[in-house]
Amino acid sequence: MQTNSESGKLIVLEGLDGAGTTSQSAILAEWLLKYKNTPAWVTREPSPGPAGAQIRSVLTRRLTMESQTLAALFAADRLDHLYGKGGVIDHLQSGEWVIMDRYYLSSFAYQTLNTDDDGRRWILDLHEHCITPDVTFFLDSPVETCMQRISRNRGFHFELFENAETLQAVYLNYLQSIQQLRQYGERIQILDGTKEIVTVSKNVRERVERLFLDDARLSELEEQALWNEWPVLSTIRKDIEERLELTFLVVKKIIPHEQVPNGGYQLGFGSREKIYHVKGFLSANGDTLKILATGQADPTLDALKEICEHRPPPTKDLPLFAKEK
């Protein structure tokens, strides 16, 4: 798969049927335009194209199809959706953001049911020419919650994969696929999808703002230089991601002030519901860091502080800085 090199951002919402991806896609696009003056094109998969129409016929049981054929059709629809005239790539090239309700993570979750490792690899290879999202938000909702929402919204109409046993298998596939894609370097955030719509949308917006709309965030080149210059921060990040259920969000510059004249860096980590911060303050001569975790006390923050306190000692002791207000 290929990195998005266009000026627009590709944001994907994923989750089980009934997780709320369609609602959250629309809410995010409206917020971007209204409050950030950022136009966004909302789209979904299966696409409105000819392959997408066939897929919807299968999902609604008007047409039957062998599972591998359906998987290939999903991939064909996806490539047409990306590269066809007026598709995803065209919108990204124009600088418009694209918010997609489902993408290839769905295929890795749904189309790999009852397949072995070779089958999973085949489906992965079908997506060689897809571009990776700038971020994927997985709305984590239990099967019971999703089934209740489907029943409430559609009465007794259920599509092909919408039964509890199948959705439970899909859910486990999602978690496995997320873990694998993260190992390839993809940015995937797991959010609590059981909360009220306004709470979930707030969590999505907060992460989008920190990832892409914060002027203090470091560019990819600056970030890479930081990991090389201050390996202790890279070690802290690795320890936090491996030991806690947190995923790295963003690294930002700390604006200098009277207590910290040389500024420093702030690393943001996301849980299913909250964002936590690790701050590294530069010493007066700029050759050492003092690292600490900040935020409202809870068990996760306590664990963060422990990791920061047990880091390899710096070459020099730094004075304690004033507590944050």
**Could you give all domains of the chain from N- to C-terminal order, each with its CATH number?**
10-212 (3.40.50.300), 220-309 (3.30.310)
Length reported for the chain? 325
Share of the chain above pLDDT 90, in %: 65
Q: Return the bridge partners of 7, or none.
A: none
Q: Is 81 exposed, middle or buried (0-12, 13-18, 19+ CB in 10 A)?
A: buried
**What is the Cα–Cα distance from 241 to 244, expressed in whole angstroms?**
6
Q: What is the C-alpha end-to-end distance of the chain, expressed in Å?
A: 44
In 3D space, the residue among 163, 135, 176 whose CA is nearest the CA of residue 18 turns out to be: 163
Share of the chain above pLDDT 70, in %: 92
The SS3 of residue 285 is coil
pLDDT tens-digit series, residues 99-122: 999 999 999 998 888 788 888 899
Instruction: Give the strand order in the sheet containing 10-14.
Output: 40-44, 97-101, 10-14, 135-140, 188-192
Report pLDDT for 153.
Answer: 64
pTM given for the model: 0.86
Q: Which residues of the chain have pLDDT under 50?
A: 155-158, 315-325
